[in-house]
Amino acid sequence: MQKLTGFIFQSLAEIFLNNEFDITAINFSAYGASFVYIDENGKPLTPLYNYLKKYPAPLQKKFYDDYGGENKFPLETASPVLGSLNSGMQLYRIKNEKPEIYSRVKYALHLPQYMSYLISNIAVSDITSIGCHTNLWNFEKNKYHGWIEKENIVNMLAPIVSPGTTNSISYYEKKVSVGIGLHDSSAALIPYLKYFDEPFVLISTGTWCISLNPFNDSPLTVEQLQNDCLCYLTHEGKQVKASRLFAGYEHEQQTKKISAFFSKPMNYSNTIKFDEAFINPGSSGYNLSLCKSYEEAYHGFMHYLIKKQFASTKLILDGSLVKRIFVDGGFSKNDVFMNLLARVFPEMDIFAASIPQASAIGAAMVIHDAWNKKTLPENLIELKKYK
């Protein structure tokens, strides 16, 4: 935590002391799946635990046995059983395994809100962080889940305030409005919600490809949960149905194998353009040893990957009126991915979207009125259509 805190203060100092900038507002976006536990003096009590840290099986079993089971409880909280990635489970673990630390906790702040707290010294909770697969929020009742009160944890969660809230402070002898921070996926969605009124799905691509549908408010089903679907909350408190696919990681691993097999550079896939001649409509996979070129192997793998992407995205399309799909992140620049996506969704308008630092832009937009009297620029999002 010391390195993170030092980095924030150092970065802000460099900007505030640079006369090229006139800073009037600050906001934050960060992943929301980890808590920072602070004492009554605002000091962190633990390291920032990695949400990939393995969760103890006996403790997890006890939790779900006590609160409805691994089928009922995830339906209520709109999140699969994800261990430490359900940040509420981290708090439950602290209570059960480290009572001496737990007894000293004043507030458990999600990371975006802790970053804001460092500057404003005001502890709050934000609905976008609470609503991101935390096991804290009952999506059926639109309030904290009952286990929070039964475990007497609710008092450790700071008051919920609107994501557009700002606090006025003096920083480096300047009056500055400080936002409360947002979960990064919810923040990245804000520019699209601001600019597009018609229903759409955003596929945010990176290590994970996350399909986000803000226009599907039907309750999650058991089948969707079992296939890695969940719900987020927007900055307006509305449900976003989402599905996850580990596609970016799989792409990285397979392109390493293809590059090694054909003695090509690791980034050779960046040069590949879509060629329909390499697509076999009946194929469900590819056999690297039978391929005659890197291009053939890569198209075969991507054809296999796009079928998985189609199945993942379709899970959150059913029952909604979506006619457009936006793709941002790494795969939006991949000509093979985009063309194949257009082929499997022929009834949709498919767009590669480009917006720099979407999460940061979203965090700025949500407090726009606190620092900017101008209207939003019209050309913020660049689109390229694929047929």
SS3 257: helix
Adjacent-strand bridge partners of 72: none
Please report, for the chain, the start and end positions of each structural domain, with discontinuous segments joined by +. 2-180, 183-247+304-386
User: Average pLDDT, stretch 300-314?
Assistant: 95
State the CB neighbour count (10 A cutoff) for residue 57: 9
Sequence-separated contacts (24+) of 259-264 with Cβ below 8 Å: 259/294, 261/288, 261/297, 262/293, 262/294, 262/297, 264/294
In this prediction, residue 284 carries a pLDDT of 64
Question: Range with the lowest mean pLDDT among 204-208, 252-256, 268-272, 324-328?
Answer: 204-208
> Among residues 220, 228, 80, which one has the least CA distance to residue 140?
220
CB atoms within 10 A of CB 172: 11
- Taken in order 276, 281, 285, 286, the sign of the CA dihedral is negative
| Statement: residue 346 has pLDDT above 90 | yes
2-180 CATH fold: Nucleotidyltransferase; domain 5 (3.30.420)
Checking if the pLDDT of 2 tops 90, the result is: no
Cα-Cα-Cα-Cα torsion 113, 158, 165, 360, nearest 10 degrees, comes to 20
pTM for the model stands at 0.87
Average pLDDT over residues 66-84: 94
For residue 335, CA distances in Å to 70, 146, 156 come to 40, 48, 48
pLDDT, tens only, 234-260: 999 999 999 999 999 999 999 999 999
How far apart are the C-alpha atoms of 42 and 91, rounded to whole Å? 17
Give the chain's radius of gyration (CA, Å).
22
Residues of 127-153 as b/e, b for ≥16 C-beta within 10 angstroms?
bbbbbbbbbbbbbeeeebbebbeebeb
Q: According to the model, what pLDDT value does residue 61 have?
A: 97
Q: How far apart are CA 210 and CA 239, in angstroms?
A: 15
- pLDDT attached to residue 282: 63
Cα atoms in the Cβ-side hemisphere of radius 13 Å centred on 181: 24
Question: Taking every pair of C-alpha atoms in the chain, what is the biggest distance, in angstroms?
Answer: 67
Amino acid at 142: N
Give the CATH number of domain 183-247+304-386: 3.30.420.40
Q: Give the DSSP letter of residue 237.
A: S
- Would you state the pLDDT for residue 318? 78
Q: Give 160-202 pLDDT, tens digit per residue.
A: 999 999 999 999 999 999 999 999 889 999 999 999 989 999 9
Q: Cα separations (Å) of 161 from 45, 124, 126, 129, 238?
A: 24, 7, 6, 12, 15
Using the predicted structure, report yes or no on whether residue 40 has a pLDDT greater than 90: yes
Predicted local distance difference test score (pLDDT) of residue 283: 64
- Cα-based distances in Å from 59 to 37, 89, 139, 288: 20, 9, 24, 43
HEC string of 316-335 equals: CCCCCCCCEEEEEEHHHHCH
Query: Rounded to an integer, what distance in angstroms lies between the CA atom of residue 64 and that of residue 62?
Result: 6
